[in-house]
Structure 1
């Protein structure tokens, strides 16, 4: 009878609890973890690059609307470090890979346009909706390639202009590739700095990327990785700011006189009534810009139209309550606006 009983090993095998098999399965699931595969970088780790892209976004946003007016917003999403092969594996096909040089820096970088962004831009440029399109794995058409080229040109020219204020570089497009194999600027395991930007077109948001070899910025690492490397004045940014201010529209009016009247007199006014003023023809009148007195002017006529000849800068009161008035070097004619 003792021979009819099963051993413990046979029972475990029947119940599927073979310890040797369990141990083997656990060993197969365990694999070494490579910490170098982590995409890592904290905000502020590359302060110089952060500043560059904050300023580039503002300049690029204005310029690209000349090509695609329906763009709502462009923003910098993130900056991170990863392996080149990891970055390339996340880009859908087809996409546009622009290989760009930054002389005198030796390495090339990539400017990548995601196909989702390209198709939406094409749609809105020809009156279509800003919605996601199915990527069919096809190549870009000749028209799409032409629009990609225009987009890339605006992006890179803006990028070069921003750099001029810090470290003069010549940003030059070398080629636009549609095959990712031809866009290999470094070895697959080399580290790259990726800057992801997003473009919002009427509520639909899609990404585009800058991909820099980590060694690209070695000659200027003190500027890129330092908090003070990019704090000096940027003439390009100043120029853009001045240009925006100069094109602002302002309201201007000339005040003949201020009078106080009673409400009963006001409600009795009718068409044809005359309002007597105490202002004489040689009196200086205040010219207001955005409801603030800026000039004193003399009333007159020029080419059958009323005009104001600016004679002085309008007085202002200083901290002590004293009036200040500064004559202009020469009078300038301004048409009167009421």
Structure 2
């Protein structure tokens, strides 16, 4: 069959379209609701790889450390929860921060680039009131006012405490030294990165009784590039282990009862010689009196020692611990 239409077929097709005999409405595919997924064109250029196990460990450790430090500063129990990591464009991050903003710029030496730390405004006013002896439970008007010099100095104490805990949290991944640069009230003056540059945003929920707010940490992807492999790997340092559980495990291990065996030596004796043994006979062992004796713990040789008497009892003194190859 020929794939080309003849002139008569073309004329008949055009005539049918003009007369309405040929339906030109495109057929609509039958999509099921489960096949339809939302697509965000705004964040299309942002990488979809949100799993950073290494950075999640840093966030968890930071949340635990800063929880205790902030509770001590405010003399009130503060709960801090780390939320999932998000990637977005830098301009979108700044646009969703209202004015006045408690936005603080810092560097993670020796990594290049700038990072941002932001406290929600109502949290800042609550912190200041608690520092000045108030209850911190009044509903204050946040919009339309700026932070005074005294308020900025007081909140800087919280920022310095947060950066100190951040330094501790990063030790398991890569040693860094946070360096405070400056603070900004208007987010538009904190454009330390390109507007379309992708940033990693870490969100923490802070709860003080009936007050809730957010703490944001913003890293540029260029800043994290030198340690990217560590952040994407499922790595967890020993420092992330809970010290309480470590102490409990050590205490349990110390209380375990073990068997210690110290063989004095050995000798090969025939069955005939054993049957002929009598009281007073001597069996010569292969060990010398000045030779250290092996000490076995649960069947595994761990030490060398020498025999002696201690408080009227036979004892063995440890003279050397054996290291495994």
Asked if TM exceeds 0.5, the reply is: yes
Task: Please say if 1:158 is aligned against 2:144.
Answer: no
Q: Is the 8 A contact 2:127 2:155 kept in 1?
A: no
Deviations 1:71-113 (A, max 9, x none): 4301112311111111111111111111111122111100111
Q: Measure how far apart 1:44 and its partner are.
A: 6.4
Q: Measure how far apart 1:223 and its partner are.
A: 0.5
1:200: which partner in 2?
207
Task: Please say if 1:214 is aligned against 2:198.
Answer: no
Q: Is the 8 A contact 2:51 2:85 kept in 1?
A: no
Task: Please say if 1:172 is aligned against 2:179.
Answer: yes
Please tell me the root mean square deviation across aligned C-alpha atoms, in Å.
Answer: 3.2
2:150: which partner in 1?
143
> Quick one: distance in 2 between partners of 1:174 and 1:104?
14
- Structure with more relative contact order (C-alpha pairs < 8 Å, separation 6 or more): 2
> Quick one: distance in 2 between partners of 1:47 and 1:116?
31
* Structure 1 residues 212 and 144: CA distance shift in structure 2, 3 A: same
Q: TM-score, normalised on structure 1?
A: 0.57
Task: Please say if 1:128 is aligned against 2:130.
Answer: no
Task: Please say if 1:49 is aligned against 2:47.
Answer: no
Q: Measure how far apart 1:48 and its partner are.
A: 1.0
* Structure 1 residues 127 and 220: CA distance shift in structure 2, 3 A: same
> Quick one: distance in 2 between partners of 1:244 and 1:112?
34
Q: TM-score, normalised on structure 2?
A: 0.59
Q: Measure how far apart 1:216 and its partner are.
A: 1.2
Q: Which is richer in strand?
A: 1
* Structure 1 residues 198 and 131: CA distance shift in structure 2, 3 A: farther
Q: Measure how far apart 1:36 and its partner are.
A: 4.1
1:233: which partner in 2?
238
Q: Measure how far apart 1:243 and its partner are.
A: 12
1:93: which partner in 2?
99
> Quick one: distance in 1 between partners of 2:107 and 2:221?
14
Q: Measure how far apart 1:164 and its partner are.
A: 2.0
Unaligned 5+ segments in structure 2 are: 1-38, 260-310, 312-325
What aligned pairs does 1:38-77 form with structure 2 within 5 A after superposition?
A: 45-77=51-83
Determine helix, strand or coil for the equivalent of 2:118.
strand
Deviations 1:191-242 (A, max 9, x none): 1111111110112110110011122111111001122xx33423xx46x826
In terms of Rg, which structure is larger? 2
Q: Is the 8 A contact 2:60 2:82 kept in 1?
A: yes
Determine helix, strand or coil for the equivalent of 1:120.
helix
Q: Is the 8 A contact 1:124 1:130 kept in 2?
A: no
Q: Is the 8 A contact 2:198 2:220 kept in 1?
A: yes
* Structure 1 residues 40 and 57: CA distance shift in structure 2, 3 A: farther
